[in-house]
Amino acid sequence: MNLPQIASKLPSKIEIQAHKRYVWCSCGLSMKQPYCDGGHKGTGFKPIIIQESENKTIFLCNCKKTSNSPYCDGTHNNL
Ligand code: FES
């Protein structure tokens, strides 16, 4: 498996809706960041599904180097 591509060195602030399904790109190749568009095919990476029971604000990692996928953990500050 190759290393993921850095899509951006800033996270995406997302207002997610309760019970709605979101699919986070883990490979960095999607053209619809921070969401999966199927670009991971053949890379060994798999997207991560996000679904919460309540509305909330989250920060999704776009550098793809976080240790808390799919959420930003501040790693982008050291890239
Ligand atoms: S955008 Fe990846 S850790 Fe913040």
Question: Residues 37, 43, 22, 73: is their CA dihedral positive or negative?
Answer: negative
Q: Could you count the other beta carbons within 10 Å of the beta carbon of residue 33?
A: 17
71 close to ligand 1 (CB < 6 Angstrom) = no
Total-model pTM: 0.93
For 36: left if phi > 0, alpha if psi spans -120 to 50, otherwise beta; the answer is beta
CA of 55 to the centre of ligand 1 (A): 22
Q: Radius of gyration over alpha carbons of the chain, in Å? A: 12
**pLDDT value of position 1:** 58
Distance 32 CA to ligand 1 centre (A): 17
Q: In this predicted structure, what is the pLDDT of residue 9?
A: 97
Mean pLDDT by 10 residues, the chain (79 residues): 90 98 97 97 96 97 98 97
Structure tokens that stand for 23 in this block: 């699919």
Provide the residue type at 45 as one letter: F
